[in-house]
Structure 1
Amino acid sequence: MKTEPPLLIILGPTASGKTRLATRVAAGIGGEIISADSRQVYRQMDIGTGKDLGEYIVDGVPIRHYLIDIRDAGDKYNVNDFQYDFAQAYEAIRAHDRVPVVCGGTGFYLYALLKGHAQDTVPVNEALRESFASQTTEQLLAHFRRTTSPYHALADTSTRKRLVRALEIAAFTREHPEQEIRFGAEEQAYPAIIFGLDPPVDVRRKRISNRLAERLKQGLIEEVQGLLNQGIDADSLIYYGLEYKYITLYLIGAMTYDEMHARLETEIHRFAKRQMTFFRKMEKDGLEISWIPDEWTEAEKIAFIIRHYREFKNGQASNM
């Protein structure tokens, strides 16, 4: 009977170099890539989502990858879809006797893999918990009854601890309606070792700005125009955020080019900051992330990741 291979996860904010590193690690360890990116699932959304498909060929050898180009542009995709599709990809990699290398920056998707249960995929909100500390249980219960959310009908408020968690989950579902979490459903929580990339802020900002300029030269505006020409409505593209939102607003005349460029660049910087905030929350929730120094050479990063993955895998096997 085959043992369950643990996940090798490489995460980081946008423009941190995740894809290049993950594909080279996969090449060195006999791995296949599973993308954990909420937008790379869409076909014909290549430049704006940063698929960098050329990186999936290492020394002339293609690296097999999953969960890229699996949905049509204009569709909606959520964490429940991701968990289902991920399970199929994981089983395919397991059947190949290969290493599952997960690469992505959608923290909520990664969190769902590592926590499994739908309720557990909602991260702890320390600020919200602090605001509840001075309130009595009766006040919190009254607050819960005054609000609504998709979670209310299932919530357990029998103790103060459970009530606080219910309020936390309810708040998350209201603030992130796009996640469409199916509470009550159980998914697998995968064993994993996590590696993170976190370039210094000034380095990250420079990379983001340079990458945006390069993508505009590569035809990012034409990519969005092509999607509009195919009949995908503007609201659907705006829903995807960042490049697709602001370039669509420019193309429909709601922004000038300069306004679009400035706003988009600012929002990508903010997005990268939010990604890092989420990864730090993951750590606070007990998920250990080994952060790779940006100044290391690529070879040093690859060797470190492969060595520690093998040690982790061997440790998992010895504990069975």
Structure 2
Amino acid sequence: MASASSPTRCPSGPRSSRGAMIFIVGATASGKTDLAVALARALGGEVVSADSRQIYRELRAGTAKPARDGQARVAGIPYHLIDCVGVAEAFDVGRWTRAARTIAADIRRRGRLPIVAGGTGLYFKALGEGLTALPARDEALRRRLAEEARTRGRAWLHQRLSQVDARAASIIPANNIQRVIRALEVRELSGRPISTLWSEGRSNGLDESGLGPAVVLRIDWPAEELRRRICARAEAMWPAMIDEARRLILEFSGAEPGLLSLGYPEAMACARGELGLDIGLQRLMRATCAYAKRQRTWFRHQLDAAAISGAQTEEMLRQALRIYAPIAR
């Protein structure tokens, strides 16, 4: 992937199928969606969501999912890879990467600019650098691991991972239960740690797939201001999350892949009467702030990005266009 420090790899304009695509990364609640839509409008682009929770159709209140119209557009801009599957269906990084690559290639063929925006770091890493060859999923094994996470707790399952793959456990946080499950699944199916397979190389990155380089823009907020934004958003979305959870418990157990994502175990517990609403909200705030801290660290160390900031989307848009302009000539 290319950043603003390597513009010579991106010789053509944004409406050309050869122009550099854009990645917009950052912590949750940092304003990625608004900036992506604004950039797409300014540059003739379409947005591809890189959010591991927004793919689930039933999850809306707790995912900050942008509202799309009947033509899958957000504020008039095509917005892809939202509402793809039900919460009971697994949707891993490999599946997302293949879908994103196909969509980005189609956007390019139509002479428009792919803009990938979201907070799931592994999605960007896999799309940019390619995928590691891993064994196919075993749905029965995944259901068993998910049930263990639900009944014994995410920390218990993470501790189990640390016993068989300490390196993977040091990289994958306990709250990212889907990645914990995948790491344990790979260990059981292949007999080898997933961290070992990671080190054995990748294939089909941007260059190999013909999508060309990407300019990476990272939205940065001061830590305390980001915390304030997260807590304000969590408080605003919490009543709708509880209403959503009350509908979900009528149909699902809570062990489904989508319902193990950030905030939903707490909302489901509240909906069942197992947890007080105030306690659930405080847990959501703490978990989201901790997740944002990990995101900030990951994006700063794993992706070569140009940092932008600003209290308003318009301010960030101006910075993004200044960074992209010399590359688009």
Percent of aligned pairs with the same amino acid: 29
Match of 2:273 among 242, 253, 257: 253
Gaps of 5+ in 2: 1-15, 134-162, 187-193, 207-211
Contact 2:36 2:47 in 1 (8 A): yes
- Note if 1:12 corresponds to 2:26: yes
How do residues 81-160 of structure 1 correspond to structure 2 at under 5 angstroms?
81-118=95-132
Question: Is the partner of 1:194 in helix, strand or coil?
Answer: strand
Match of 2:35 among 3, 9, 21: 21
Residue 301 of structure 1: CA displacement? 2.0
Residue 107 of structure 1: CA displacement? 0.9
In structure 2, the residue matched to 1:160 is none
In structure 2, the residue matched to 1:187 is 204
Q: Distance in 1 between matches of 2:319 and 2:278?
A: 43
Report Cα offsets for 1:286-307 as digits up to 9, x if no partner: x321111224x43332133123
Query: Taking structure 2 as the reference length, what is the TM-score of the superposition?
Result: 0.71
Residue 101 of structure 1: CA displacement? 0.7
Most deviating of 299-308 and 17-26? 299-308
Q: Distance in 2 between matches of 1:289 and 1:83?
A: 20
Q: Distance in 1 between matches of 2:263 and 2:292?
A: 14
* Number of residue pairs matched by the alignment: 259
Amino acid at match of 1:267: A
The structure number with the bigger radius of gyration is 1
Contact 1:118 1:186 in 2 (8 A): yes
In structure 1, the residue matched to 2:180 is 177
Residue 3 of structure 1: CA displacement? 4.3
Match of 1:263 among 283, 292, 297: 283
- Note if 1:213 corresponds to 2:255: no
Residue 173 of structure 1: CA displacement? 8.0
Residue 71 of structure 1: CA displacement? 0.8
Amino acid at match of 1:187: N
Amino acid at match of 1:291: A
Structure 1 residues 185 and 299: alpha-carbon distance in aligned structure 2, compared to 1, 3 A threshold: closer
Aligned CA-pair RMSD: 2.8
Gaps of 5+ in 1: 120-146, 150-166, 315-320
Question: Is the partner of 1:53 in helix, strand or coil?
Answer: coil
Contact 2:49 2:80 in 1 (8 A): yes
Most deviating of 93-102 and 168-177? 168-177
Report Cα offsets for 1:260-286 as digits up to 9, x if no partner: 11111111111111111111221xxxx
Q: Distance in 1 between matches of 2:278 and 2:313?
A: 36
- Note if 1:203 corresponds to 2:225: yes
